[in-house]
């Protein structure tokens, strides 16, 4: 066991040298007003700039990908300007920040989409409910995308990456996890298409790989400023695959030639483990397949984060709820200080409460 590597060992991530291996995980916080990022969000992210890397909350690449109220987008000039407030604030504090590009797919509702049906690989409803301006509603059956429409969505991801570059981001992460559109194409429980985007794992991976190719092209064809997040064990919103090990092994192998900045792998959580038999653990298995930098996420604390790095099963560790409540999480880890406790009641509140008011040391 290599005990010299821990959360505070500097690491090279693409073209960036990070001072630590502590990543702030992407977390939906729903503080955007009219889907436009704002000064409050800039304060929130800047407070957490001591992370080796910040990955933003999921950010919609088009109006039809808005799965939640008050989530930010990256498809208008106003949104680009709003995100510029965020990137400037983080950079002033010496931080590095990637934008998470996202399309919700079937995890949306006409009440959030101007009356339009959500789109998905197949007309199969997700399992669950959403908050809308008219109250909490169950997910509806989406409209299956026509083959010719898929290229338009690939272009929306490419444009989103270009807009992120204009907004001053250091890179982007593709949201390929948690039952959203990319994940919906990958897994056969949600993709029952019969065209070139369905059926075999090669076909189900096609949309993701087209998006990766388009987005990496934004930065001169280099993948070193593009990451991707996958969740092979995810059961959120009724997701499943008949053979997740085979599906995601193919996907991860197919990503190797792109020389991505990183692969961000999600471990199973309590919901996944209680719903059906899933891959567990995830990270050590895909460590053997992915040739690049690997970030792991899944309820880690200081000691368990150090442990997985020392075993060389991952290169960085991302932290979610601990970063919500502890803007100075790296310093607290380093000094073994007491941690603030996150308050779930304010995770999605509309204001600064439970957002920018957690105390520093």
| Mean pLDDT, contiguous 10-residue spans, the chain (361 residues) | 82 94 98 97 98 98 96 98 98 98 98 96 97 94 98 98 98 98 98 98 98 92 89 94 97 97 94 85 97 97 97 97 98 97 95 97 96
Q: How far apart are CA 175 and CA 281, in angstroms?
A: 20
What is the per-residue pLDDT for 15? 86
Look at residue 89 and give its three-state secondary structure: helix
Q: How far apart are CA 261 and CA 14, in angstroms?
A: 5
What value, to the nearest 5°, has the Cα angle with vertex 235 and ends 229 and 241? 85
Q: Which of 45, 180, 262, 355 is catalytic?
A: 180
What is the per-residue pLDDT for 3? 55
Q: How far apart are CA 59 and CA 222, in angstroms?
A: 22
Instruction: State the residue for tokens 């520093």.
Output: 360
What is the per-residue pLDDT for 272? 84
What is the per-residue pLDDT for 4? 83
C-alpha dihedral sign at 144, 148, 152, 158: positive
Q: How far apart are CA 139 and CA 129, in angstroms?
A: 5
Give kind and range of the element (H or E) at residue 163. helix 147-166
Q: What are phi and psi of 141, to 5 degrees?
A: -70, 125
Q: Are 121 and 103 in contact (CB under 8 A)?
A: no
Here the tokens at position 63 are: 């109006």
What is the per-residue pLDDT for 239? 96
Q: Are 86 and 42 in contact (CB under 8 A)?
A: yes
Other beta carbons less than 10 A from residue 252's beta carbon: 23
Q: How far is CA 277 from CA 179, 186, 235, 293, in A?
A: 17, 18, 10, 28
Other beta carbons less than 10 A from residue 242's beta carbon: 9
> Strand (E) positions, the chain?
11-13, 16-18, 22-24, 53-60, 97-102, 119-120, 129-132, 135-138, 143-144, 171-176, 226-230, 262-266, 294-297, 316-319
What is the per-residue pLDDT for 144? 98
Would strands 135-138 and 129-132 be described as parallel, antiparallel, or unpaired?
Answer: antiparallel
300 carries an active-site annotation: no
* Closest residue by Cα to residue 313 from 293, 340, 299, 329: 293
């Amino acid at each position: 066991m290599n005990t010299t590597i821990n959360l505070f060992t500097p690491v090279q991530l693409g073209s960036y040298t990070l001072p630590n291996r502590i990543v702030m995980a992407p977390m939906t916080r729903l503080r955007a007003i009219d889907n436009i990022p704002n000064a409050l969000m800039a304060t929130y992210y800047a407070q957490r700039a001591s992370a080796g890397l910040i990955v933003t909350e999921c950010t919609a690449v088009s109006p039809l990908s808005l799965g939640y109220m008050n989530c930010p987008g990256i498809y208008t000039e106003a949104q680009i300007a709003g995100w510029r407030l965020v990137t400037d604030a983080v950079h002033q504090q010496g931080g590095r920040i990637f934008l998470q590009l996202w399309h919700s797919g079937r995890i949306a509702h006409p009440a959030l989409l101007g009356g339009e049906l959500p789109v998905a690989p197949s007309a199969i409803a997700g399992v669950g409910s959403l908050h809308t301006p008219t109250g909490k509603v169950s997910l509806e059956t989406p409209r299956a995308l026509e083959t010719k429409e898929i290229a338009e969505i690939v272009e929306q991801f490419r444009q989103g990456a270009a807009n992120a570059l204009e907004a001053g981001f250091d890179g982007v992460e593709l949201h390929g996890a948690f039952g959203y559109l990319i994940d919906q194409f990958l897994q056969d429980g949600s993709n029952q298409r019969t065209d070139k985007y369905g059926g075999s794992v090669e076909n189900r991976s096609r949309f993701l790989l087209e998006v990766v190719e388009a987005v990496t092209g934004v930065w001169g064809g280099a993948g070193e400023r593009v990451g991707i997040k996958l969740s092979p064990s995810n059961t959120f919103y009724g997701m499943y695959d008949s053979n997740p090990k085979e599906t995601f092994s193919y996907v991860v192998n197919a990503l190797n030639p792109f020389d991505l900045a990183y692969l961000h792998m999600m471990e199973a959580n309590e919901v996944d483990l209680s719903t059906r038999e899933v891959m567990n653990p995830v990270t050590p298995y895909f460590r053997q397949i992915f040739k690049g930098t690997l970030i792991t996420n899944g309820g880690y604390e200081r000691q368990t984060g150090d442990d997985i790095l020392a075993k060389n099963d991952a290169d960085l560790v991302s932290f979610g709820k601990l970063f919500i409540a502890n803007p100075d999480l790296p310093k607290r880890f380093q000094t073994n200080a007491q941690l603030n406790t996150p308050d779930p009641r304010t995770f999605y509140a509309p204001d600064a409460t439970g957002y920018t008011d957690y105390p520093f040391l």
